[in-house]
Structure 1
Amino acid sequence: MKKLLYLLALLPTVLLAQSGKVFDNLSFPSKILKGDRKFAIYLPPDYESSQRSYPVLYLLHGGGDDQTGWVQFGEVQNITDKAIAEGKATPMIIVMPDANTGQRGYANDVKNEWRYEDFFFQELMPYVEKTYRIKKDKHYRAVAGLSMGGGGSFTYALHHPELFAAACPLSAATGPLTLEDTKAYLEQRNNLNGTAAEIEAYYKRQSVLELIKAMPDDQKKAVRWYIDIGDDDFLFEGNSLVHIAMRKKEIPHEFRIHDGGHTWTYWRAALPTVLAFVSDSFHQY
C-alpha cells in the first residue's frame, strides 16, 4: 500500500516531465534586417534530459499574428506533447519566427531592400541550428505554416528544395496568379515602386503557380508535400489551382479538403496531421 501511495505521489512529477517547453519571446540581432528579431521555440519533453539532436519544423504564422500566434492560438505545446506521447509524432524542435515586424511577410520586397527571406535562410536558420541541438541535414528539416505562413511554406520549399524534407502549407496564400494581380497587390500595399523588370521578377519569385511551372523534372520528388484547405476558405481557388498544376506536372503531393474556413479552429485540428506527416519524412523509408 505504501508503495502504491508513493507511486501515486510521483505521478504529477512524471506527467510534468512529459511536457515540452515553449519560449515565446526570444530574440537575436539581425544584420540583414538591421535590428533584433523575435522568435518562439518549442523544445520536446526529453530535450533537457538527453544529449541527442532533434529534427526541426519551422512553423510560420499568418498575417496579423507574430511568433506567439501558434503558441497562444494554435496551442502548439499541448498538441505536440500529445502527438509525441501517443507515438504519432517524433520528438522535434519547432521554431516559430516573427514576420510581422518592420514589414509583414516572409518575402524579400520588390527592390530587395527588405530581405526577410534572406534573413530566414542566412541568419535565422544558422542561429537556431547552432544554438539548439538541431540536426542540420535536409532529411530532418520541414516547414509548415498557415495563410501568409502557408505561402511562406510554399515559396521557401520551392526556392530551396535542397533544404527541406517536407512542406505543409495550410490554408495558404499562393501568391499572385498573374502579373497584373502582382501590380494590384503591390499598389494596394503602396509598394509599386520597382521597375517593370523588378516587378516581373517579384511575380515569378512569389507566385506558387509560376514556381511550379518552372520546376525542373529532377526536383519533382525533392520535397514531400501536404496541402490542406477548408472548403469554406476564401483561399480555396488558389490552392485548388496549385493542386491541379502539381497534378499536371506529376509532382507527388497530398491535397486535403476538410470542412471549415480560415480559422484557428481549423488550424488547430490540422496541426496533429502536419506533425505526423513531417515525422514520417524524418524517418527512413
Structure 2
Amino acid sequence: MKSALLGLLLALTAPLAHAQTARQTPAPVETPIVIGRSYALPSTVMGATREINVWLPPGYADSGKTYPVLYVLDGGQDQDFHHISGIAQLGTVVGTTRDVIVVGIASVDRRNELALPTTDSDLIARYPTQGQSERFRLFLRDEVQPFIQSRFRTSGETALMGESLAGLFVVETFLKEPTMFDAYVAVSPSLWWDGGVLARQSGAHLRDQSNAPRTLILTLGDEGPEMQAPMDVLTGNLRDFAMPGVTWSFTPRPTETHATIYHGAALDAFRRLYAVPAQ
C-alpha cells in the first residue's frame, strides 16, 4: 500500500519538477550571423535599383589599410556571392592569400546583361532580351566601381570574375575594355554564344590593345566540343597576338563538369592573384 502511494506521488510530482527546471533554464540567445553588407544601388544606366553585395576582410574597420577589390558577376546573395566571399574569408583566416574586398553584382536577366548581341535567329527567339552586355559594362564602369571606390578603402588593384555566361562577359570585357580591370578570371566561359564569334574576333581585338600589364586566367572542364572549340580559337589567338604585358593562362580541368568547376577554379585564382608575398 505504501509502495503504491509513493509511486503515485512520484508520478504526480515529476511533471511539476520538470516544469520548474524548464522555467529555470534560460532560452538560447539568438543573434544574426552577418556575412557582409548589401546595398540597393540606384542605377541610371540600368534604369532600376540593383543589388550590390560587399564582403570586407576581418579587421577592415580598424586597420586603416587599403585593399584590392574582386568584382564577382552573378554576385547576388542567392547566386555566387557567398561561396566566393567564403574563399576570401578562408584565405584570410589561414593566411594563404592577401586580404581582399569582394563585391558581388547580382544578375537579373543574365542573357541581357552578360551576353553580347547575337545574329542567331534561334537564340533571338529563345532570349528576346539578349545582347545588352555593353550596357551592363557601362553600369560596372560608371556606377558600381565609383560607388565602391568612394565608400571603401581600395588600393586601385581590381579583378573581375565570372563563370559560364558571366565568363563570356569577362572575356568580352578583357578584349574590348582591357584596362577596365587589372585581372580577369573566366571559368567555363560560354564562348559558344553566337557561334563562337567572340573567340574568332579575339585576334583583332588583341592586336588593337596597348601593352598595359594585365592578367587573364582561363579554365574549362570536360564540357564537350561546343565549349572546347572556341576556347582553342581564343587561346590560339592569345599565343599569336597577345601583347607582352598580358599574363595569361589556360588550365584544362578534365575531371570537372560545367556544374562542378567553379569553386575549385576560383580557389586557384585567389591563390594566384592574391598570393601572400614571400617573407
On whether the aligned pair clears a TM of 0.5, the verdict is yes
User: Is 1:273 equivalent to 2:268 in the alignment?
Assistant: yes
User: Is 1:115 equivalent to 2:135 in the alignment?
Assistant: yes
Unaligned runs of 5+ in 2: 1-32, 119-130
Indicate if the aligned counterparts of 2:182 and 2:214 stay in contact, CA closer than 8 A: yes
- Tell me the TM-score normalised to structure 1 length: 0.69
**C-alpha deviation, 1:128, in angstroms:** 1.5
**C-alpha deviation, 1:146, in angstroms:** 0.5
Indicate if the aligned counterparts of 1:20 and 1:45 stay in contact, CA closer than 8 A: no
1:145 is matched with: 162
1:95 is matched with: 103
2:36 is matched with: 22
Letter in 2 for 1:56: V
1:70 is matched with: 80
- Tell me the TM-score normalised to structure 2 length: 0.71
**C-alpha deviation, 1:236, in angstroms:** 2.4
Distance 1:112 1:256, change over 3 A: closer
Report 1:192-231 matches (<5 A): 207-216=198-207, 219=210, 222-231=213-222
**C-alpha deviation, 1:76, in angstroms:** 2.2
2:177 is matched with: 160
**C-alpha deviation, 1:77, in angstroms:** 3.2
2:206 is paired with a residue whose SS is: coil
Letter in 2 for 1:30: S
**C-alpha deviation, 1:218, in angstroms:** 5.9
Distance 1:27 1:261, change over 3 A: same
> Which structure has the bigger radius of gyration?
2
Distance 1:212 1:221, change over 3 A: farther
d(CA) in 2 for partners of 1:269, 1:112: 30
**C-alpha deviation, 1:45, in angstroms:** 1.4
1:130-151: CA deviations, max 9, x gaps? Answer: 122222x3xx111111011111
Letter in 1 for 2:62: S
Letter in 2 for 1:278: L
1:99 is paired with a residue whose SS is: coil
Indicate if the aligned counterparts of 1:20 and 1:46 stay in contact, CA closer than 8 A: no
Distance 1:238 1:113, change over 3 A: closer
d(CA) in 2 for partners of 1:45, 1:238: 41
Distance 1:26 1:87, change over 3 A: same
Indicate if the aligned counterparts of 1:40 and 1:68 stay in contact, CA closer than 8 A: no
User: Is 1:131 equivalent to 2:151 in the alignment?
Assistant: yes
Indicate if the aligned counterparts of 1:165 and 1:222 stay in contact, CA closer than 8 A: yes
**C-alpha deviation, 1:125, in angstroms:** 0.9
**C-alpha deviation, 1:114, in angstroms:** 8.0
2:44 is matched with: 31
**C-alpha deviation, 1:228, in angstroms:** 0.8
Indicate if the aligned counterparts of 1:243 and 1:255 stay in contact, CA closer than 8 A: yes
Out of 222, 237, 246, which is 1:245 matched to?
Answer: 237
Distance 1:67 1:97, change over 3 A: farther
1:47 is matched with: 60
Distance 1:78 1:176, change over 3 A: closer
Letter in 2 for 1:77: S
Indicate if the aligned counterparts of 1:20 and 1:81 stay in contact, CA closer than 8 A: no
d(CA) in 2 for partners of 1:213, 1:126: 30
1:76-124: CA deviations, max 9, x gaps? Answer: 2332211223333210011111222496323576897982221111111
Distance 1:31 1:88, change over 3 A: same
d(CA) in 1 for partners of 2:159, 2:35: 20
**C-alpha deviation, 1:220, in angstroms:** 5.2
1:170-204: CA deviations, max 9, x gaps? Answer: 00122646xxx48xxxxxxxxxxxxxxxxxxxx6x
What value does the CA root-mean-square deviation take over the aligned residues? 3.2
Letter in 1 for 2:174: A
Distance 1:71 1:50, change over 3 A: same
Unaligned runs of 5+ in 1: 1-18, 183-202
User: Is 1:260 equivalent to 2:256 in the alignment?
Assistant: yes
Indicate if the aligned counterparts of 2:115 and 2:168 stay in contact, CA closer than 8 A: no
1:253 is paired with a residue whose SS is: strand
**C-alpha deviation, 1:154, in angstroms:** 1.2
**C-alpha deviation, 1:221, in angstroms:** 5.9
